[in-house]
Amino acid sequence: MRDAAARKWVEEDFWPREVQTYTFVPPGKAGPEGGERTVIGEEVEYRPEKGDTFFDLARYFGLGYNELVDANPGVDEWIPGHFEKPVIVPHEFILPNGSYEGIVVNVPEMRLYYYPPAKGGPRTVVTFPVGLGREEWKTPTGKFSVREKSVNPTWVIPESIRKERIADKGYSETSIAGGDPQNPLGKYRMRLTLDLYGIHGTNIPWGVGMLVSHGCVRLYPEDIEKLYPMIPVGTPGAFVYQPIKVGMRDGRVFVEVHKDLYGMKPGMYRETRTMLERQGLMSLVDEELLRAAALAQTGMPVDVTLGARSAGRVAAPSLRDADAESHEAAPSSPMDVPDAIDREVLRPAPGSAARGGVQGSPGGRPGVEHMAPTDVRLPSRATVEEARRPLTADPR
């Protein structure tokens, strides 16, 4: 029987999550015979409990708030456990089309992909959710490279943002010191050759998966700490705007459709058809499935191959059960199971970090210097509705 007490999330619950590294095969020649495998990961279902919110669950599972909302239409993000209904954890992604090198930030998806340099073995990618620029401070598109990295950076406030802060809140400071809880850059920052833009942490983790910044890319504190040492100065990158992605896996065709956040891609269905025709895949596609996927815009890969049937999702245990079941579900070595690198790993229950251990942190608990400056704080409903407005096309 479920414990009647509501779960109390604490900051240490989010730090043990390890980086998932996925293998993939980039496109070769056009058509299904090219051997492409650009759909990675796997969806699972999770049984929410009293005390869970989408903000906590998104961060725990390495997702943006937007990804849980889009994958679970009609579910109350504040009390998802109220109706005893599983929620979808959308841990499956189609890689954005491109060169599959360096850093790629897909703006409509609000997700960052990093492709480490190939060293003769299988191609790999890691991916993280991000928060991006508000409607009036759009994150741009274009190529860049990482030109500088810094720890505990001081935020020198651009004059345009300073004027906004004075008008909105009466804040007139010209800079905020590194390590200050009010510094929106967090602990780590990577400055880009696109002037005034960067990739950094955040002092408001709930904003990941929302349009909340002045154009920069914000990551969860625990994610930027993992990504930062992976990226050398000079790493190339690109901001792309791909609300529609097409991918292949095992000879089957998938499409992934996101909301057009900045209103730059009208006609989603028509655009999706054009992309499939360009890649020589339209003859393999069920048009009814394609039309449904284009309209639903769930942000999840959908198998649109002729004759496709739902294979069903992997059911994830509740977090209270995960600690007891993980030893049965996980192989003794990642290489014991073919393609294990693409499989979901059951995560430990909240509060079990000290038992399970965290890589690079003695005893499993992150050190004080790694912890956010406060306990887990959630925004008010009014704040969320204001931030979500561009995501829901609310005209207010």
Has residue 323 been placed in a domain?
no
Strands (E), 193-275: 198-200, 211-213, 217-218, 236-240, 244-249, 252-257
Which range among 49-53, 134-138, 312-316, 340-344 shows the weakest confidence by mean pLDDT?
340-344
Q: Which comes out higher in pLDDT, residue 160 or 133?
A: 133
Best-predicted range by mean pLDDT among 7-11, 78-82, 83-87, 235-239? 235-239
Which residues participate in catalysis according to the annotation?
200, 216
Residue 76 covered by a domain? no
Task: Provide mean pLDDT across the span 11-37.
Answer: 83
pLDDT band at 33 (very low <50, low <70, confident <90, very high): low
Task: Say if 277 falls within a structural domain.
Answer: yes
Sign of the dihedral defined by the CA atoms of residues 78, 79, 85, 89, in that order: positive
**Which of 29-38, 202-211, 303-312, 319-328 is predicted with the least confidence, judged by mean pLDDT?**
319-328
| Cα 271 off chain centre by | 24
* Residues near 176 by beta carbon (within 8 Å), at least 6 away in sequence: 154, 155, 157, 182, 183, 184
**Residues sharing a CB contact under 8 Å with residue 114, sequence separation 6 or more, in sequence order:** 102, 103, 104, 125, 126, 127, 128, 227, 230, 231
Residue 288 inside a domain? The answer is yes
pLDDT tens figures, 350-379: 333 322 333 333 333 333 333 333 345 555
Which one is predicted more confidently, 283 or 1?
Answer: 283
Note whether residue 262 is domain-resident: yes
Q: Which domain holds residue 294?
A: 244-303
Residue 167: inside a domain? no
- What's the average model confidence in pLDDT over 160-182? 73
Q: Judge whether 89 lies within some domain.
A: no
Closest to 202 (Cα-Cα) out of 59, 44, 23, 93: 59
pLDDT for 26 equals: 94
Pairing of strands 198-200, 188-192: antiparallel
Q: Report the range of poorest mean pLDDT among 58-72, 189-203, 339-353, 370-384.
A: 339-353
Q: Which residues lie closer than 8 Å to 359 by C-beta, 6 or more apart?
A: 18
Report the distance separating Cα 391 and Cα 259, nearest Å.
Answer: 7
Q: Is residue 40 part of a domain?
A: no
Number of domains in the chain: 1
Does residue 391 surpass a pLDDT of 90?
Answer: no
